[in-house]
């Protein structure tokens, strides 16, 4: 959103007290903005530290959620909640590296439960598998926008995910049936037009 000169001028004419009141009123209504400002001007912790904390948080919450794997609907809702916390971390810290890494870490840790998933009917875990594939695809699209210096770190966790997907025949089949190339799980193999490829795949009704 762009602000007109008139709007900016009107704000500049506010007194210090009026500006303070306006800021506190806005912060009270927008908790995310409040957290973002706190992080930027007060919080002594760095983005890296916040990312490490979020990684620990993901690990702990997934361990707790594992007891609900037998209830796929509830388990997936728990995963979505954890994912939302990652999204909030990214919005507060503008952690572009963490946006990719933490989401891939989430997928990798979920797939540690491959044996438990294998004991369930395919239709019970279908939505979870499609959710994970979309997570991976989203991360791949973001990798294309990040400096290549970071690709080695992404490839390490993508390699783990690749191995685990191949250990899960239903998930492996879903990858193939939805047009996802396993070669893409190495950053250097990502097509230049990956965004268009994914858009075309979705237009054909896949990844859902």
The count of other CB atoms within 10 Å of the CB of residue 124 is 15
The count of other CB atoms within 10 Å of the CB of residue 48 is 12
In whole angstroms, what is the distance from residue 2 CA to residue 47 CA? 28
Q: What is the pLDDT along the chain (208 residues), one digit of tens a residue?
A: 677 888 888 888 888 888 778 878 888 888 998 999 999 999 999 999 999 999 999 999 999 999 999 999 999 999 999 999 999 999 999 999 999 999 999 999 999 999 999 899 999 999 999 999 999 999 999 999 999 999 999 999 999 999 999 999 999 999 999 999 999 999 999 999 999 999 999 999 999 9
**Residue 94, by phi and psi: left (phi above 0), alpha (psi -120 to 50) or beta?**
left
Pair of tokens at residue 178? 């939805």
Give the DSSP H or E segment for 173. Answer: helix 169-177
SS3 of residue 42 by DSSP: coil
């Amino acid at each position: 959103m762009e602000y007109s000169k008139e709007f900016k001028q009107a704000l500049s004419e506010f007194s210090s007290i009026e500006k303070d009141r306006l800021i506190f009123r806005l912060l009270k209504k927008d908790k995310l903005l409040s957290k973002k400002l706190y992080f930027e001007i007060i919080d002594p912790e760095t983005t890296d530290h916040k990312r490490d904390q979020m990684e620990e948080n993901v690990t702990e919450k997934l361990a707790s959620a594992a007891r609900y794997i037998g209830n796929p609907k509830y388990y997936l809702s728990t995963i979505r909640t954890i994912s939302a916390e990652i999204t909030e971390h990214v919005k507060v810290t503008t952690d572009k590296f963490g946006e990719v890494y933490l989401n891939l870490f989430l997928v990798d840790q979920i797939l540690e439960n491959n044996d438990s998933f294998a004991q369930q009917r395919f239709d019970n875990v279908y939505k979870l598998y499609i959710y994970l594939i979309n997570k991976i695809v989203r991360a791949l699209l973001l990798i294309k926008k990040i400096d290549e210096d970071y690709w080695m770190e992404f490839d390490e966790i993508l390699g783990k995910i690749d191995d685990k997907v191949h250990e899960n025949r239903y998930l492996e089949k879903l990858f193939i049936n939805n047009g996802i190339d396993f070669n893409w799980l190495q950053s250097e193999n990502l097509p230049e037009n990956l965004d268009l490829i994914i858009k075309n795949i979705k237009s054909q009704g896949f990844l859902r």
